Amino acid sequence: MNTPKGISVTFSTLAVGLMTALILFPPLGTMDAFAAASGKAVVLLQHPVKVTVAPGESEWPDLHRLEISVVGGGKRFRFTTSQRAKSLDDALAFQREETRWRGPYLLIRYDRGGGNATRDYLDVVFTLRKGRLLYLGEVEADSYKGGTFRDTYNKFELNGLTSHAGAPMFPLVVEEKGGRLRVNIEKTWQENRGTYRENAAWVPGVLGKRVPLSGPDLIDLTDSLLFNAVLAKYCQRPRELEQALEAAAIGLKREDPKLFDQFKEIVSQVIPGELPERAVKVVAERM
């Protein structure tokens, strides 16, 4: 079938126009990739704080190292993150999406690049106060809600007494006060006391069994008591801490005094209300 000449010309004109538009005004992600490939920093946010990202050297084709710069109020903060993505274009698009304001806080995603450890995905937190750009710290990614953040107490994620799965880790309720992130100990206790009570109710039944305890029973007893003792000391609950220590003295000491010594050594290292060790190295510079 023959196509009318006028329609053919119209189609050709539209095709040429579309191609020209794509060349002159490429999609945003493509523009980002072009800029990054040429070594230029890509702007993620412009106002009221300028955030840029530039690609760094990456060891793997699907793991993209990104150098983040946050500028405002006469200061610059820099840190490096990694994004696992099929292409640099995808990595930049994700980083743009995860650089956002939530209430008074600027949250920028930090990714270690994968793994099974806790705190692999974090938000680096900034805020503006009277024209000053403040770096507050880091929290669990996408956790900001109702004026509070969440994080995970993971100081003993790797320890010589329990497995990784049985390590005494628990969620923290974090708030910003006076330009600093602080753990709300009372709210943290309220959030975790249900687990404490479940463990405390289960322990007497195990302690009443004939000794020696079987492997699974001893592992579960150790995990439960260590969780309770660490949580109670962290949240400054002396009565609950004493109960956990007394049960450990009965259950662990009779099985193997060395177990109880390890138990006490771990508990002695708990600092009430301390934030997790920072994973993100943020460099501050004056401009």
Short-list 22, 24, 69, CA closest to 43:
69
User: Tens digit of pLDDT for each residue in 235-253?
Assistant: 999 999 999 999 999 999 8
List b or e across 185-218, with b for residues whose CB sees 16 or more CB atoms inside 10 angstroms.
Answer: beebbebbbeebeebbeebeebeeeeeebeeebb
2 pLDDT tier (thresholds 50, 70, 90): low
DSSP-assigned letter for residue 148: B
The alpha carbon of 192 is separated from its chain's Cα centroid by a whole number of angstroms, namely 19
DSSP-assigned letter for residue 207: H
User: Tens digit of pLDDT for each residue in 25-62?
Assistant: 455 554 455 444 545 799 999 999 999 999 988 778 88
User: Tens digit of pLDDT for each residue in 167-190?
Assistant: 999 999 999 999 999 999 999 999
Rounded Cα–Cα distance for residues 54 and 143 (Å): 26
User: Tens digit of pLDDT for each residue in 200-235?
Assistant: 999 999 888 777 777 888 999 999 999 999 999 999
Short-list 181, 103, 179, 200, CA closest to 144:
103
What is the DSSP annotation of 46-62? -SSSEEEEEE---SBTT
Short-list 281, 170, 276, 144, CA closest to 223:
170
Rounded Cα–Cα distance for residues 100 and 151 (Å): 19
| The pLDDT of residue 132 is above 60 | yes
pTM exceeds 0.75: yes
| pLDDT at position 31 | 45
Burial class (CB in 10 A: 0-12, 13-18, 19+), 165: exposed
Burial class (CB in 10 A: 0-12, 13-18, 19+), 116: exposed
| pLDDT at position 93 | 95
- Average pLDDT across the chain, whole number: 88
Residue with tokens 């955030």: 51
74 phi-psi bin (left φ>0, alpha ψ -120 to 50, beta other): left
| pLDDT at position 215 | 86
Looking at residue 99, its amino acid is T
In whole angstroms, how far apart are CA 235 and each of 182, 185, 206? 13, 5, 26
| The pLDDT of residue 6 is above 70 | no
User: Tens digit of pLDDT for each residue in 99-117?
Assistant: 999 999 999 999 986 666 7
Q: Give percent of the chain with pLDDT exceeding 70.
A: 84
| pLDDT at position 22 | 43
